[in-house]
């Protein structure tokens, strides 16, 4: 097990319905030292890529992205989620449909912060069905930029998001891939990487 | 002028209605090196305080808080904004009324992440009327914790938030206090500190 998998086993809580609660260190309370380790690991995994910008999405992606960015020496842009359809023309927008929440959201980024010169690393805390991620990729493409890689903390391997993104040829690195969880025993099965 | 004031003069944009846009380096695109300088400065200003946790609020406070936290070696908790009133009993909640948006929002933090043992530094990007900040203070108080200090990037000195908080005896440090802006000339007046 790597450092993140160990931490998930130690402090993650498995709940009914394939819910994994990691809010004590990842997405409500945040362990910044852990984020720093994640940054070092992503830097290793994307070492050969000419990354000049990190893109993430509010809210829980922002903390990880900012600490990871220190390892790359690049700025972070975060996409905003909005329900409003009245967007200025100065925004890239992607409409993403949530499988879980059964609602449509718009994801927006100001045009001035992404262009065809950008080589983007997308960072997020979770990947399940991949709706948010699909929106971020769409936005980078709208800008004419290049998705150099996608770095995820925890991927739910039993949901389709990761497979779809890898099938499309993106360089996706998830630090922990959960292939199964048992709410009665609390056991978590990670994919060998 | 300090480093943040210089950056505001260089890249901030003054708009009609006392709006200061700093989204190219602070709250949409984020300059992580600048955040690191802010962290060093807050560490200096709160050097004598026994801070063991940083509290911020989604979304734009999170990035700053995480980078600042590295200078204190402490975890970050971010409060969530929600409109839902159906909150589990495991949450501290504060209802905050926005002067600007004329709406009420709930700010919530899970009880397990704040207690009477916590000595909290509150971090946020902006302070204007101080609604969000009042909610965060209320939540720390509900938990029985101590607000050791409040670190703000940009305070709008011509709005009431900062004065109220200082009058209440809190140790509030704003790295830049804007006392006036002129949208026609783009000129920004900072308070001498």
Per-residue pLDDT reduced to its tens digit, B109-158: 999 999 999 999 999 999 999 999 999 999 999 999 999 999 999 999 99
- Count the domains in chain B: 1
Residue A85: what pLDDT?
Answer: 56
pLDDT band at B1 (very low <50, low <70, confident <90, very high): very high
Chain B closest-CA separation from residue A121 CA (Å) = 14
What's the token pair of residue B66?
């995480």
**From start to end of chain B, where are the E strands?**
13-15, 19-21, 29-30, 53-57, 76-82, 91-97, 104-110, 119-127, 146-156, 172-182, 187-190
Residue A159: what pLDDT?
Answer: 95
B133 within a domain of the structure (yes/no): yes
Instruction: Calculate mean pLDDT across residues B39-44.
Output: 98
pLDDT band at B83 (very low <50, low <70, confident <90, very high): low
The CATH number of the domain holding residue A38 is: 3.40.50.2020
Backbone angles phi, psi at A16, to 5 degrees: -55, 145
pLDDT > 70? residue A18 = yes
B43 within a domain of the structure (yes/no): yes
What's the token pair of residue A87?
């967007």
pLDDT band at B96 (very low <50, low <70, confident <90, very high): confident
pLDDT > 70? residue A88 = no
Residues in Cβ contact with A192 at an 8 Å cutoff, skipping those fewer than 6 apart: none
pLDDT > 70? residue A92 = yes
Higher pLDDT, B27 or B98: B27
A121 near A151, Cβ under 8 Å?
Answer: yes
Kindly indicate whether the ipTM for this predicted assembly is greater than 0.90, answering yes or no: yes
B124 within a domain of the structure (yes/no): yes
In the block, residue with structure tokens 């609604």: B131
Residue A104: what pLDDT?
Answer: 79
Mean pLDDT of chain B: 94
A113 within a domain of the structure (yes/no): yes
A176 near A153, Cβ under 8 Å?
Answer: yes
SS3 label, residue A22: coil
B169 near B175, Cβ under 8 Å?
Answer: no
- CB contact A193 to B (< 8 Å): no
Q: How far apart are CA A193 and CA A190, in angstroms?
A: 9
Q: How far apart are CA A36 and CA B86, in angstroms?
A: 35
- Domain range holding B108? 3-186
Residues in B touching A63 (Cβ below 8 Å): 62-63, 65-66, 76, 78
CB contact under 8 A, A75 and B112: no
CB contact under 8 A, B63 and A76: yes
- CB contact B66 to A (< 8 Å): yes
> Which run of H or of E encompasses A182?
strand A172-182
pLDDT band at A13 (very low <50, low <70, confident <90, very high): very high
Q: How far apart are CA A25 and CA A176, in angstroms?
A: 14
A189 within a domain of the structure (yes/no): no
What's the token pair of residue A86?
């009245």
Percentage of residues of chain B with pLDDT beyond 70: 93
Number of H helices, E strands in chain B: 5, 11
A77 within a domain of the structure (yes/no): yes
B140 within a domain of the structure (yes/no): yes
B137 within a domain of the structure (yes/no): yes
Is residue A107 left, alpha or beta, with left meaning phi > 0 and alpha meaning psi from -120 to 50? Answer: beta
Q: Are strands B104-110 and B91-97 parallel, antiparallel or unpaired?
A: antiparallel
- CB contact B13 to A (< 8 Å): no
pLDDT band at A105 (very low <50, low <70, confident <90, very high): confident
């Amino acid at each position: 097990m790597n450092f993140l998998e160990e931490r998930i086993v130690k402090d993650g809580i498995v709940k009914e319905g394939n819910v994994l609660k990691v809010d004590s260190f990842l997405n409500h309370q945040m362990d910044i030292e852990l984020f720093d380790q994640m940054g070092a690991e992503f830097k290793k995994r994307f070492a050969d890529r000419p990354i000049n910008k990190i893109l993430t999405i509010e809210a829980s992606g922002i903390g990880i992205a900012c600490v990871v960015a220190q390892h790359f020496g690049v700025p972070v842009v975060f996409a905003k989620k909005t329900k409003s359809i009245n967007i200025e023309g100065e925004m890239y927008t992607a409409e993403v449909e949530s499988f879980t929440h059964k609602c449509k959201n718009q994801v927006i980024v100001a045009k001035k912060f992404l262009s065809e010169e950008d080589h983007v690393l997308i960072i997020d805390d979770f990947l399940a069905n991949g709706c948010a991620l699909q929106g971020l990729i769409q936005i980078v493409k709208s800008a004419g930029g290049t998705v150099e890689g996608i770095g995820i903390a925890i991927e739910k391997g039993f949901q389709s998001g990761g497979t779809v993104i890898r099938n499309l040829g993106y360089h996706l690195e998830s630090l922990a891939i959960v292939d199964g969880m048992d709410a009665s025993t609390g056991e978590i099965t990670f994919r060998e990487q």
